[in-house]
Structure 1
C-alpha cells in the first residue's frame, strides 16, 4: 500500500507540473506545442484576384453556401472536396471568376471560424486542466498528511488515494485528447490552402 501511495503522489506532482507549463508565454492558456496563430492570413492562402465584395456576398448565394458547407466539413475527404470544386467551377462558364471568388471567400470565412472555435475550446480545456492540476496538488498534500498522521487512518488514506487515481486518470485522458485536437488547426490551414490552390488553378 505504501509503495502504491508513494507512486501516486509522484504521479500527481508530475501531472500538476505538466499543467503549469505554457508553450507560449504570450498565450498562457494555449496548450499546444505549435505556436498559436489566431487567424489564417488571407495572403498566406490566396494569390488570386482581389476578393472585393465577394467577402460579404458569398452567403447570399444558396449554391455557394451549400458547397462551402460541404467543402469545409472535415468529414468530406480532401480529394472529394477538390473534385467538387473543379466540377462546380467547370459548370460556371462565364461566371467562373466571380463564382471562384465567392467560393473562396466562403471557405476562408468558414474555415477561419472553425479554427477559432477549436482554438477557443482548447484554451477552455487548458484552463480546466490547470484547475484540475491545482486540485490534484492540494489533495496530494492532504494525502501525505494523512499518511504521516499518528494514528494513521487507513480508510481515509485509501479513499483519498482512490480519488486521486480517478482524478489523475481523467487529467491524463484529457491531455491525450488535447494533444490530438492540437493538430486540428493545422489540418484546417492545410485544407484551406489546398482548396484555395485548386480554385486558383481552375480560374486560369
Structure 2
C-alpha cells in the first residue's frame, strides 16, 4: 500500500541522504584509494604502503641456496616455527640457539635450507594476503558504485511528483547497511595493509637469526 506520508515529512531523511552523498562522493568519482596509490596508478592497491614486488630469498641470504635440498624433520619443524607470526622474535631466537647447540656440525648450507623453508612459508602467506587486498579493493570499488546508484535512485524518487515511499524506505535501509559495511572495511584497511610489510621484515629477521649461529 502506498504510504500517505507527505514529502515534507521526509526532509530530515533528505539531509541524511545529502550527508551520505557527500561522504561517498569522492569514493564514487575516484575509488577509495590513497594518494600514494594514485601515484602508482594501480586501482587494485588501496594501501599507503607501496606494493613491493616478488621477494627473493637470495637477496636475504649471503650464500647459495639449494632449492632441491631435503631438510630433516627437525629442520622442517624449525622452519615452520620461524615462519609463524605468533612466534615472537625472542622465542624464535631461543629456538634457533637451541637447534644450533643440538647440531654442532651446522654449516651455511644447512642453515640456508632452514631459512629457505621459513622463507617459502612466509612468502606463501604474503602472496595470499596480497591477493586478498586486491579483492578487497575491487569489492570497495563495486560497493561505492552500488551506493552511488542507490543514492541517485533515492534522489530521483524523492523529486518525483508522487514519490514511492515504500521504495524509498527500502533504498534508505540499503544505503545505511552498505555505508556501514564500507566504513568498517575502511577502518580495517590500515592493519591489513601493514601485514605484508611485517611479513617482509620477518623474512629478513629470520635470515639474520640463522646467520648469527653460522660457524
Same fold (TM over 0.5): yes
Q: Does residue 63 in structure 1 map to residue 74 in structure 2? A: yes
Distance 2:162 2:23 in 1: 26
Aligned counterpart in structure 1 of residue 64 of structure 2, from 40, 50, 64? 50
The match for 1:74 among 78, 82, 85 is: 85
Q: Output the CA distance in 1 between the equivalents of 2:109 and 2:31.
A: 49
Match of 1:38 in 2: 53
Pick from 147, 150, 154: which aligns with 2:161? 150
Q: Structure 1 residues 95 and 20, CA, compared in 2 at 3 Å: closer, same or farther?
A: closer
Higher share of residues assigned helix:
1
- The whole-number CA distance in structure 2 between the counterparts of 1:63 and 1:164 is 55
Pairwise CA RMSD: 2.0
Residues 89, 100 of structure 1: 8 Å contact kept:
no
Give the whole-Å Cα distance in 2 for the aligned partners of 1:146 and 1:93. Answer: 79
Match of 1:103 in 2: 114
Unaligned runs of 5+ in 2: 1-11
Alpha-carbon shift at residue 142 of structure 1 (Å): 0.8
Assess if the C-alpha contact under 8 Å between 2:75 and 2:114 holds in 1: yes
The answer to whether the aligner puts 1:19 opposite 2:34 as a matched pair is no
- 8 Å CA contact 1:70, 1:76 repeated in 2: yes
How much has 1:181 moved relative to structure 2? 0.8
Quick one: higher RCO (CA 8 Å, sep 6+), 1 or 2?
Answer: 1
TM-score, normalised to structure 1's length? 0.88
Does structure 1 residue 159 correspond to structure 2 residue 170?
Answer: yes
Whole-Å separation in 2 of the counterparts to 1:122 and 1:192: 20
TM-aligned CA deviation for residue 18 of structure 1: 5.5
Aligned residues of 2:106 and 2:214 also touching (Cα < 8 A) = no
| Cα distance, 1:14–1:178 mapped onto 2, change above 3 Å | same
- My pick for the range that moved more, 164-173 or 150-159, is 150-159
Deviations, residues 3-24 of structure 1 (Å, cap 9, x unaligned): 2222122223244345254605
